[in-house]
């Protein structure tokens, strides 16, 4: 992984502002792993998630902390996951196509998800979106245009895909301490990482503003300061 400076993070944030979270995740990987620029959109999602977790561990700490709301009573349910458990998990070496009902499929990648997100109605009908995703990943060249998938078949397909690429979806399980409802939620790593990156970028811009106003230094000079020195100067400015 390439070492990213504060200036790199600021320009990454600027480039990714307003993009779809999928693209923000890919941009972050481009910046940290430039050698993967051409291929990352075709990586299985587990490989993408591992790279994002590695980035998080290096720059934002090992703890992936956040919260969700209990779907039943609205109680705030917090989670704290160790990002190293994701970053250090070996890449699944699943080179074989996944066979479901005699048809062969490869693992879905970011490019497939982006295409599925672009198609109308994807959000309205999750089953139709799953079928489109399966079609996009079919590798045996068969024609399935008229084929229908039952809910059970889709579930089986999902389970086989998950077994072949366990990090593709990171599922968090919760039990509400108030109403005891059990629920689960997927952790979307691109969104999660981008929120951290955005917070960092905003902090940096405010620091630049404060120090440039006080000392007349350029943005480049201020971003080149170590965290310790920047904080010390900021303390003096606000004293």
Binding site for Zn ion (CB under 5 A): 70, 72-73, 75, 176, 178-179, 181
Nearest approach, Cβ of 67 to Zn ion (angstroms)? 13
Nearest approach, Cβ of 187 to Zn ion (angstroms)? 19
State the SS3 of the chain. CCCCCHHHHHHHHHHHCCCCHHHHHHHHHHHHCHHHCCCHHHCEHHHHHHHHHHHHHHHHCCEEEEEEECCCCCCEEEEEEEHHHHHCCCCCCCCCCEEECCEEECCCEHHHHHHHHHCCCCCCCHHHHHHHHHHHHECCCCCCCCCCCCHHHHHHHHHHHHHHCCCCCEEEEEECCCCCCEEEEEECHHHHHHHHHHHHHHHHHHHHHHHHHHHCCCHHHHHHCCHHHHHHHHHHHHC
Nearer to Zn ion, 19 or 73 (CB): 73
Nearer to Zn ion, 72 or 147 (CB): 72
The tokens 């008229």 sit on which residue? 146
Token pair belonging to 227 = 């965290």
Contact yes or no for 110/48 (Cβ under 8 A): yes
Nearest approach, Cβ of 73 to Zn ion (angstroms)? 3
Nearer to Zn ion, 12 or 176 (CB): 176
Nearest approach, Cβ of 217 to Zn ion (angstroms)? 50
Nearest approach, Cβ of 236 to Zn ion (angstroms)? 47
Torsion angle (degrees, nearest 10) of CA 193, 199, 204, 206 = 170
Nearest approach, Cβ of 79 to Zn ion (angstroms)? 15
Nearer to Zn ion, 73 or 236 (CB): 73
Nearest approach, Cβ of 208 to Zn ion (angstroms)? 43
Nearer to Zn ion, 76 or 202 (CB): 76
Nearer to Zn ion, 68 or 89 (CB): 68
Nearer to Zn ion, 73 or 123 (CB): 73
């Amino acid at each position: 992984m390439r070492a990213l400076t504060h200036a790199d993070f600021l320009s990454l944030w600027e480039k990714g502002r307003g993009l779809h979270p999928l693209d923000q995740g890919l941009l972050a990987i481009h910046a940290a792993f430039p050698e993967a620029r051409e291929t990352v959109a075709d990586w299985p999602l587990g490989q993408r998630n591992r790279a994002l977790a590695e980035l998080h561990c290096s720059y934002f700490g090992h703890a992936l902390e956040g919260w969700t709301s209990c779907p039943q009573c609205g109680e705030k349910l917090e989670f704290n996951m160790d990002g190293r458990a994701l970053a250090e998990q070996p890449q699944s070496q699943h080179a074989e196509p996944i066979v479901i009902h005699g048809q062969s499929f490869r693992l879905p990648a970011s490019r497939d998800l982006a295409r599925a997100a672009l198609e109308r109605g994807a959000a309205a009908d999750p089953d139709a979106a799953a079928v489109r995703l399966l079609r996009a990943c079919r590798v045996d060249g068969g024609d399935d245009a008229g084929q229908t998938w039952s809910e059970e078949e889709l579930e089986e397909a999902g389970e086989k895909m998950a077994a072949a690429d366990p990090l593709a979806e990171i599922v968090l399980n919760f039990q509400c301490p108030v109403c005891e409802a059990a629920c689960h939620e997927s952790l979307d790593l691109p969104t999660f990482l981008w929120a951290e990156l955005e917070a960092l970028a905003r902090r940096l811009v405010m620091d630049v503003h404060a120090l440039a106003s006080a000392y007349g230094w350029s943005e480049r000079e201020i971003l080149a300061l170590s965290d310790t020195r920047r904080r010390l100067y900021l303390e003096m400015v606000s004293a």
